[in-house]
Homo-oligomer: A and B are copies of this chain.
Amino acid sequence: MEQHKCDWSGVVCRGGKLPLQGYNTVLLFLALASIVFIFVWSTSTSLSSHGYETNKEMKKTSFEPSSIIRRPSSSGSCSCKAKTFNVTSAIEASKLSAIKKRRAEEYRKQLIRETTDLDVVLVNPSNSPLQYPSHGFTVEPLKMTFIPGLGVNAYGREVYKVSLCASHGVIAVDSAPHGQVMAQNQSIHIIATSVDDLNDLLAHVTYTSVVYLLKAGDLVHFTFEDHEAIFPVTIKKPTLPVLYDLGEDINSQVTIAVKTFLRYAELRYLIKTIRERYPDIRIIIADDSLTTEKVEGHNIYQYIMPPAQGWFAGRNLAISQVTTKYFLWVDDDFEFLKETSIEKFVEIMESVPELDVLGGSVDTNRFYFTLEQEEGADGEGGCLSRLHKYHKQLPGFENCVLVDGVVNFFLARTDSARRVGFDPKLNRVGHSEFFMDGLGRLLVASCSGLVVGHQPMHALSKYQKFRHPGKGDENMKLKLHYFKNHLKCVTF
């Protein structure tokens, strides 16, 4: 979208350092330099971790004229430890250059979507007579809004002149009771003969964004004499709420979702054990078996896919059909035990509204993990490690921990899980991938005491032949990680 730089030519808006004056009884004013630092973090870092170096360097430049300090675009290369999959080497050498180029271009466009002019650090000027909204001024696109909190706290001038200038919006004064207002490009200049008149005018200043985007930002420059300040404007289109009705019992709160392939005996047994405890709960089945059989029953919905279409394709299909706030994911060879309690899951999720996924245990297997990502050097891709640890205990729940991924038995918010999705490109292999795509997008916890059983495996079944992925599948997954997740290596 178009961008106008804040144009200061011909306008009384100078940054500058006023001489520091020491403690002196004959001094009228202790006028101190007004400085604004803008630290611009290169946008290439904005998709991964933030970090600030020591601000020693900033200290050297403090109280000096406005300057832009650019942080180096990446802090250096990253490397994966131990059992690492070198993702880059999964790509055929002859294709690597073209793929890398496409990936860089896609990454660039993604950054355009995700960053705004507000991805900078602003440091206020000290000892400045300017008052302004340093944080939180938010407007809707194209809508005129009064700017709160503008003022000048200075005395003894014959004439007061201030300027305000924006890049993505128009600044105006709603009325001009006592004073002059001149508009020039995207700036206004206000002149008043008393500080009260000036502040009266400043109380009538409005901002109207000229960009129409869901999320954008602007930086307004506010100057008075040698003082300059910059404050942020958040431009945001409001969303319509999308809420789920929990209804009156577990059946209106949770749907059971399962993907099946060539395991009708196991699937039917699973359903039997579910129905013993939950006679009415909806069960959604995504089925890509080579030859399908009808699986019928009260409140059972079976969806037939093209044969062997795939594991994650089936998972994504199943959750696309859920109408309740939550779904419980189960594999087709699980079995509900006496202790299996969906209500326990819901209780925890409802107590912690920020949670998106809550994992339990399959038999005694309470698998969970965290994912640590590090940025790579320019264009290389990042490094991701899966670790068997947790971030911290879930506050208020001593049997629960906050993690990044869990076992394949979990309750999830339908909206959050759909927002991340199970990538239908993953045919036979996939587990962590959902949580990788969900990193930073899903708040995940794991609790003990939320159990389901696992039916014994039948060797020599048709399923087994398909189940174990070959090198081809693993390679396909790595190639996917290279591009999709902008990685160079993954440690499991």
Which of chain B's residues has its CB closest to A440's CB? B239
Residues of B within 8 A of A6 (CB): none
A174 to B424 alpha-carbon distance, docked (Å) = 47
Q: Is the interface of A mostly helix, strand, loop or mixed?
A: loop
Do the beta carbons of A424 and B323 come within 8 Å of each other? Answer: yes
Tier of interface size on chain A:
35 or more
Could you tell me the distance in whole angstroms from the C-beta of A90 to the nearest C-beta in chain B? 14
- Of residues 122 through 155 on chain A, the ones whose CB sits less than 8 Å from some CB of chain B are 122-142, 145-153, 155
Which of chain B's residues has its CB closest to A30's CB? B29
A19 contacts chain B at the CB level, 8 A cutoff: no
Do the beta carbons of B49 and A238 come within 8 Å of each other? Answer: yes
The proximity string for A residues 412-445 relative to B, scoring 1 for CB distances below 8 Å and 0 otherwise, is: 0001001101011100000000001101111100
Could you tell me the distance in whole angstroms from the C-beta of A171 to the nearest C-beta in chain B? 14
Tell which of B50, B109, B110, B202 touches A236, judged by Cβ atoms closer than 8 Å: B50
A27 to B26 alpha-carbon distance, docked (Å) = 7
Do the beta carbons of B440 and A238 come within 8 Å of each other? Answer: yes
| This chain's copy number in the assembly | 2
| Contact status of A121 and B136, CB under 8 A, knowing A58-B149, A200-B59 | yes
Q: Contact residues of A with B, CB < 8 Å?
A: 1-2, 20, 22-30, 32-33, 35, 37, 39, 47-56, 58-59, 62-63, 99, 102-103, 106-107, 109-110, 112-113, 118-142, 145-153, 155-156, 174, 199-200, 202-204, 212-214, 229, 231-232, 236-247, 301-306, 309, 313, 316-317, 319-323, 350, 352-354, 371, 373, 382, 384, 391-392, 395-396, 402, 415, 418-419, 421, 423-425, 436-437, 439-443, 483-486
Q: Could you write out 14 A-B pairs with CB less than 8 Å apart?
A: A52-B147, A102-B247, A103-B243, A123-B134, A123-B149, A125-B131, A126-B151, A126-B152, A242-B484, A242-B485, A244-B484, A245-B483, A303-B306, A323-B425
The 4 closest A-B pairs by CB, nearest first: A239-B440, A123-B149, A23-B156, A320-B320
